[in-house]
Chain A
Amino acid sequence: MHSQDDEEATAFVKASYGRLLREAFLLCGDAGRAEDLVQTTLAKTVVVWSRLQRSEGIDNYVQRTLINTYLSARRRRAWWEQPFSRLVESQARDEYVGVEQRDWLRRALDALPARQRAAVVLRFYADLSEQDAARALGCSVGTVKSLSSRGLRTLRQRWVGVDATTEHEVRYA
């Protein structure tokens, strides 16, 4: 790679790393894995940097690579990394409601299927249009609508359950 390309690529990495890292965290639910996902995505982008400058928008490419890398990792994990028992978790309570709600949202996102989660993050966090989300996911607009709708419905159902639990606990507090 020429040094000029190198400099441009480094600048792009610096500019986009934070945004991508937060998006990756919402996809993975884990800061370490999010770092790994973003670095892999940006490394792939840097490898084809000179070609990207001649063709499509770099942001679109990075977005699509991030989603593909995430989905591929989930697929690989599903294949060779099978949990052999269910973790029994207690309802760990934070004393701060905000912390509790963030914890709940992270768990709720973790429970979503990978593509639904990706659709929710792209539509409601990255604020992509349905067309852009469809391009990033490599599917049709209709599929994006369906995925995000189902993801949203699942989150709402869980939210209602949490509300009920909270009211119940308040009543007996």
Chain B
Amino acid sequence: MHSQIELRDRLAALAEPVKPVEDYEDKVMRRSRRLRWRRRMTAGAAAAVCVAVLVTMFRVVGVGSSPQLAAPPPDGPFLGWSAVGDVDASLVREATDVWDSAGTGGPHTAVRALVATRNHQQLHSIAVLQGYDKQGVARLAFFTSDASAAKALRLRADRPAPDPVTTQVISLVSPRLTGPVGVVSTDGWGTYAIAVAMPGVTAVRVSNTVIDDEMIGEPNAQTSRLIVKGFPLNATAQTTTVSGFIKPNRPLAKMTKVFEVPGDGGADDDARAVPGKVLTKTGQQIVVAFQQNQAVRRGQLAVVTKGLVGRVTAIDVTRGEATIDLVTSTGFAGPAHTDISDVPGSVRGTGTSLVMERIPTGEKVYTVTAGNRVLVPDPCQPNDQVGAVTVGRASSDKAAEASSVELAPTVDLTHLREVSIMTSPTGGDC
């Protein structure tokens, strides 16, 4: 084989005798039909596998329609919620007796429990009951143990039953939940928040603006429909926010917030918050409208969740209006102290800003560092710690020999719509 032509000839000669078998066209067409069917089956199976993988993936990563919170039907005028956990029948009986013997509302009938649990880590016994008083009015009552009286059960709050259709959570925030009725806790972290959410809520979070974010802990920690959380004594219902979350029953699904509402107060002898709607606003003052026959007096504090707005300086009882000096106004002044470190002093508005001054200088050196929280005592509370309201944070470190430091107000005073005026529980002067 010396040339390519010779090779070509030999190859042709080698292939020449090969002849097709009979019916080869039919064989090819039959084979093509089988191949086409097999390809369709493969494509169908692949599509089914892809769909299955996608569906599984969506379920695993939690993609899907956002879950809805379905409200249970009301139980007459009462919340139609099931009780949280196991109900201790003896505790319900004990709480009903306490309820009947307190005040003039008893005996209570058709009593049903939302919470009745003993051996709680923080408050020992907790009961939340609904029932009719003797006038047939639906009521809601909170009970906790008295640590100073062998953990006897005490009635802490007795209020009208909330709207059974729209209510998603009930709460009680007070520093008077651990001792005798009306007595403030002696513990620095003696304010407690009790919150019970409607069925379907998988986690409840209670946060408070008197605690810095880094001290709140794990905000997404699992809780149940009932949460009890301790706060410093200066925490109030006004600085508390209760949030409810639901989590779809899917792996990796994220929690969805379904409500976020302010906490409720109203324990015996707690300062009463009177809501006031802002009517007019200047750089120095605001005028708010409040319901008449309320216990609003001069000198009381106006607050929002983030802290202090100002102090009531004038009241028009006939029109139900109160004038409030903002914390940055020149008319605002009062005693103050820093949170935790308890550095004494006073605060004063300069017209545009706020300063803390009269910080003692001398042998004992008081340190105020940038970011320190400064509190103003509430005159309607029994001491300087309980319900003290955050007025601002130190803008910078205080110099060692200085007696004043500039503060940044914690409240955005330019966007106020509603405030709460902290009044005496007895309706008198603070």
* A residues with CB within 8 A of B: 6, 9-10, 13-14, 17-18, 21-23, 25-26, 31, 34-35, 39-40, 42-44, 46-47, 98, 101-102, 105-106, 120-121, 124-125, 127, 152, 155-156, 159
Complex CA gap A18/B7 in Å reads: 20
B31 on the A face (CB < 8 A): yes
- With contact pairs A22-B18, A25-B15, A26-B15 given, residues A42 and B28 touching in the complex (Cβ less than 8 Å): yes
B21 on the A face (CB < 8 A): yes
Q: What per-residue 1/0 map shows which CB atoms of B16-30 lie under 8 Å from chain A?
A: 101111001101110
* B residues with CB within 8 A of A: 1-2, 4, 7-8, 10-16, 18-21, 24-25, 27-29, 31-32, 34-36, 39
> Which residues of A are found within 8 Å of B20, using beta-carbon distances?
17-18, 21, 35
Tell me if B15 and A155 are in contact (CB < 8 A): no
A8 to chain B, nearest CB (A): 12
B43 to chain A, nearest CB (A): 12
Closest to B21 in A: A35
> Which residues of B are found within 8 Å of A31, using beta-carbon distances?
18
Tell me if B1 and A42 are in contact (CB < 8 A): no
B160 to chain A, nearest CB (A): 77
By Cβ-Cβ distance, the 7 closest A-B pairs, closest first, are A22-B15, A46-B32, A43-B31, A43-B32, A125-B11, A159-B1, A42-B28
> Which residues of A are found within 8 Å of B31, using beta-carbon distances?
39-40, 42-43
> Which residues of A are found within 8 Å of B15, using beta-carbon distances?
22-23, 25-26, 125
User: Is the contact region of chain B dominated by helix, strand, or loop, or is it mixed?
Assistant: helix
Tell me if A39 and B24 are in contact (CB < 8 A): yes
> Which residues of A are found within 8 Å of B10, using beta-carbon distances?
101-102, 105
Tell me if A39 and B28 are in contact (CB < 8 A): yes
> Which residues of B are found within 8 Å of A40, using beta-carbon distances?
31
Q: How many Cβ-Cβ contacts under 8 Å join chain A to chain B?
A: 84
Complex CA gap A127/B9 in Å reads: 11
Closest to A18 in B: B20
Tell me if B7 and A152 are in contact (CB < 8 A): yes
Tell me if A125 and B25 are in contact (CB < 8 A): no
Contact sample, A vs B, 20 pairs, CB 8 Å cutoff: A13-B28, A21-B18, A22-B16, A25-B15, A26-B14, A31-B18, A34-B18, A35-B21, A39-B24, A40-B31, A43-B34, A46-B32, A102-B10, A102-B13, A121-B11, A124-B4, A125-B15, A155-B1, A156-B1, A156-B2
* Cβ-defined partner of A152 (8 Å) among B4, B32, B34, B39: B4
Closest to B11 in A: A125
> Which residues of A are found within 8 Å of B1, using beta-carbon distances?
155-156, 159
Complex CA gap A47/B4 in Å reads: 37
> Which residues of B are found within 8 Å of A124, using beta-carbon distances?
4, 7-8, 11
Closest to B15 in A: A22
> Which residues of B are found within 8 Å of A121, using beta-carbon distances?
11
Tell me if A47 and B36 are in contact (CB < 8 A): yes
- With contact pairs A42-B28, A101-B10, A127-B8 given, residues A25 and B39 touching in the complex (Cβ less than 8 Å): no
B16 to chain A, nearest CB (A): 7
Tell me if B14 and A43 are in contact (CB < 8 A): no
A163 to chain B, nearest CB (A): 9
Complex CA gap A43/B38 in Å reads: 12
> Which residues of B are found within 8 Å of A13, using beta-carbon distances?
24-25, 28-29
Closest to A49 in B: B32
A5 to chain B, nearest CB (A): 11
